[in-house]
Structure 1
Amino acid sequence: MAPPITQQATTNPNSTSGGSSISTNRLERDSKKHDRRSDLVCRVRYTNVLPDLPFDPKFLRYPFSQDRFVRYKPTSLEKNYRWDLLTEHDVGVEIDLINPDAYATTRKITEEDEKLLEEETASPANLKRSLLNQRSVPWLRKTEYISTEQSSIKSTLKMGEVRPY
């Protein structure tokens, strides 16, 4: 830590020699306060220095699993909680609230249905279209408009072109 910077006390020609010693004492006291400052909000009563360790540090084997204190263990209250099945009344779907396991399926999905569930692969035309729609125009706040797909592509092409003046 760098030594504190102390200012030399200036003496006033009209004052007595005792005045300069008071200001010097005040500077010394303020510098000592600054050295002892801690980040604690409360006043520290005991400022004893801890003694050195009488032996070298040693590595000990930890016999327990490392995640023993952070592993999630649900309580019996969580295990026995009955979740409410919330549905919209106007959809027309009736749920059997007595036996929710009645809707569990173990059947394997056929290949035809799996094709329907697969995500679309991006074709080059779709990639080009998405890149055109992602262009940002810095001088407009929002460049997203509600319109048909064809007119939105044309408008993004026109807006995306930046012409130097």
Structure 2
Amino acid sequence: MIALFLVLQAAPLAEMKSSMQPVPLDEGVGLFRQICFETMPDPKAAMNVINSPELELAKLPETPTQAMQPGDAWASPKMSVTYVDTQWLPMDFGSPQCSVTVVLEGGDTHNALATAMQSKLQLPSVKFGKEAESARTMWDVPQTNGDKWRLFLTSTKTPSGTQMTATIMNLRGKKKK
């Protein structure tokens, strides 16, 4: 359900033209790295980056439905960001979760996006999905404390260009007391 919040918040409908300014692939991956990947799993660090003036992110007002879900969303001329911190929920809920959505310049394929993400974040090798109007790749990255980070990269062809959504969630392992 929380992952659904991220998808609903971060991904405008593929049929709609986005108001986001297209960015180069390296910048899109760099924004995800800066906001979500490098701050995982520290909510305070993520909020410090999200609230930094240079990103120009403004918190989005919540609809009544969104107000009943954990998490917040922000937008800027270049991106949309969601962040969910549910440490108070049972361990089987991934927490925190963070996503960045951008529209990319050029006609990069999903495999080119996945290759760039894998290289820049030093992710393990995985099999990339088939090229399609909408494609997804997933990585699991074990952590030394028993947690596992799960990353999703989704690309969707839209009238504005390729929309890239990168999501990371901390799958919390069983903690010893």
Normalising by structure 2, report the TM-score.
Answer: 0.15
Structure showing greater Rg: 1
Return the structure number with greater helix share.
Answer: 1
Greater RCO, CA 8 A, separation 6+: 2
Return the structure number with greater strand share.
Answer: 2
